[in-house]
Amino acid sequence: MKVEALPLEQLRERTSEKWREYPADVLPLFVAETDFPLAPAITEALERAVRIGDTGYVASRTPLAEAFAGFAERRYGWSPDSARMRSTADVSMGIVEILRRVTRPGDRVIVTTPVYPPFFDLVEEAGAVVERVPLRDTGSEWELDLDGIRTAFETGARALLLCNPHNPTGTVHSAASLESLAEIALAHGATVVSDEIHAPLVQPGTVFTPFLNVSDAARAIGYAVVSASKAFNLAGLKCALMVTASDQTARLVRGLPVEVEWRTGQFGMLAATAAFSERSDPWLDGLLTTLDDNRRLLGDLLAAHLPTARYRSPDAGYLAWIDLTDLGWGTNPSKRILREAKVALHFGPAFGVEGACHVRLNFGTSPEIITAAITRIAALDVPGA
C-alpha cells in the first residue's frame, strides 16, 4: 500500500528546517526531509519512550546493530557482523571520525563531484584536503571515473569518500565498479569510506551492492556509515552506524573515544531500531511505490512544461538532479526560481562546479506539491512572465 504525504496545511505545522527556512508562500523542495507520516512501528516506539520517560543516555548495549544486520540481510542479501558496528550521532560525524584516523593533516581525500555539499566540509573538518574526481557522464548515466581515481591515488590521495547511492544524481554504483574501486584502493594502501544513507531507498529492479559486501579487498580497506534517517525521515533524532568487515577496520572503530558513541540520540536509537525491524518493511515498500510514482510524475511534468530541462530518473532516493542550462537562467537558477516562482530548490553549484545551471529537487512529497512547483517554475519561461 502506498504511503501518502501529509496535507500541506499540516506540514506547515512542522518546525524543522524544511518548513521554517522560508516564508509560507514558498514551496520547500530543497533539504532532504520528506513529507510523509512516520512508519507506525517508529511512532509506537517513540510514544512508548515518552510515556515511560525513557529519555536518558543511550545504553552501551542496544539492539540497533542487530536490527540493522537483519535489515541488510532482508533488503540487500548482506550479512554484516553486528559485533563490528558502532553507533554515533549521524553519518557526517561517523565520516569525520573515521577520516581523522585513516588520514593525516594535509592528506588528500577524493570526492566524486557533483556530490552532497557537506562532503567538502567533512574532509576539511577531519584535517584533510579535498581532491575532486568528477563522475563520468556517459550520456545515459553517471559512473565512477576509475581511471581518474587511480591517478589520484597514484599521486598521493589517501582515501575516497564514496556516496552510494549517490547524492544528487541518485546513481546506484554497480558491483563491478565498486569491486574495481576496492582493488585500486587496496593496491595503493588507501581507504574507502562509503556513505550509504540512501541505500534503503533503492527502487525495485535496481540492485544495491553494499561496499563491504563486494569483495575481500573492500572488506579490508572499507568502512560504511549507514542510517535510517533519510528513508524514514529521522534526521533530527541523531543516530547512525559505522560498519566494518575486517579485524583491522573494526579495531579502528572500537578505538574511537566513547563520546563518539554517546552522541547517539536515545530517541534516534529507538526509532532506527524500529525502522530496521521487519515491522517497518511494509511501510518502506509503500514508500518506494510512492517515490516511484513521483519520479515518473516529475519526468512527465518536466517534459510537458519545461521540455528543455534535462532529467534522468534516479535509481534511488527522492532527489532529482535537473539540468536547466538551456533555459538560460544563469549558473545558479535556484535563485531566480526562489525569488520569482516561490519554490525553494537546492543550489546546483553547491555540489561542485559540475552543478552549474543545475538544481536539486526533493520529490519526497505529494503529487499536488510537485505539480504546483513545476507549474510555478514553468511560468517563468513564458515570454513576458
Tell me the average pLDDT across 340-362.
98
Number of structural domains the chain divides into: 2
103 and 167 share one domain: yes
75 and 14 share one domain: no
Prediction pTM value: 0.97
Range of the domain at 139: 42-278
Is 94 a domain residue? yes
Tell me the average pLDDT across 223-240.
98
161 and 267 share one domain: yes
Is 1 a domain residue? no
Indicate which CATH number applies to the domain containing 316: 3.90.1150.10
293 and 266 share one domain: no
| pLDDT score of 385 more than 50 | no
Is 147 a domain residue? yes
150 and 269 share one domain: yes
119 and 249 share one domain: yes
342 and 373 share one domain: yes
Tell me the average pLDDT across 8-19.
98
Output the pLDDT for position 68: 98
Q: What percent of the chain has pLDDT over 90?
A: 98
Tell me the average pLDDT across 292-303.
98
Which of 259, 278, 297 finishes a domain?
A: 278
Output the pLDDT for position 1: 84
Is 311 a domain residue? yes
Three-state secondary structure along the chain? CCCCCCCHHHHCCCCCHHHHCCCCCCEECCCCCCCCCCCHHHHHHHHHHHHHCCCCCCCCCCCHHHHHHHHHHHHHCCCCCHHHEEEECCHHHHHHHHHHHHCCCCCEEEECCCCCCHHHHHHHHCCCEEEECCCEECCCCEECCHHHHHHHHHCCCCEEEEECCCCCCCCCCCHHHHHHHHHHHHHCCCEEEEECCCHHHECCCCCCCCHHHCCHHHHHHEEEEECCHHHHCCHHHCCEEEECCCHHHHHHHHCCCHHHHHCCCHHHHHHHHHHCCHHHHHHHHHHHHHHHHHHHHHHHHHHHHCCCCEECCCCECCEEEEECHHHCCCCCHHHHHHHHHCEECEEHHHHCHHHCCEEEEECCCCHHHHHHHHHHHHHCCCCCC
291 and 231 share one domain: no
Output the pLDDT for position 382: 56
Q: What is the pLDDT of residues 151-209, one digit of tens each?
A: 999 999 999 999 999 999 999 999 999 999 999 999 999 999 999 999 999 999 999 99
157 and 292 share one domain: no
14 and 150 share one domain: no
Alpha-carbon distance 322 to 311, whole Å? 5
Which of 226, 256, 278 finishes a domain?
A: 278
Q: What is the pLDDT of residues 140-154, one digit of tens each?
A: 999 999 999 999 999
127 and 48 share one domain: yes
Q: How confident is the model at residue 381 (pLDDT cuts 50, 70, 90)?
A: low
Indicate which CATH number applies to the domain containing 243: 3.40.640.10
Is 69 a domain residue? yes
Which of 262, 278, 294 finishes a domain?
A: 278
Tell me the average pLDDT across 78-102.
98
Output the pLDDT for position 384: 40
| pLDDT score of 56 more than 80 | yes
Tell me the average pLDDT across 327-334.
97
Tell me the average pLDDT across 32-53.
98
| pLDDT score of 94 more than 50 | yes
Q: Mean pLDDT for the chain?
A: 97
Is 384 a domain residue? no
Is 3 a domain residue? no
Is 385 a domain residue? no
Output the pLDDT for position 91: 98
| pLDDT score of 102 more than 80 | yes
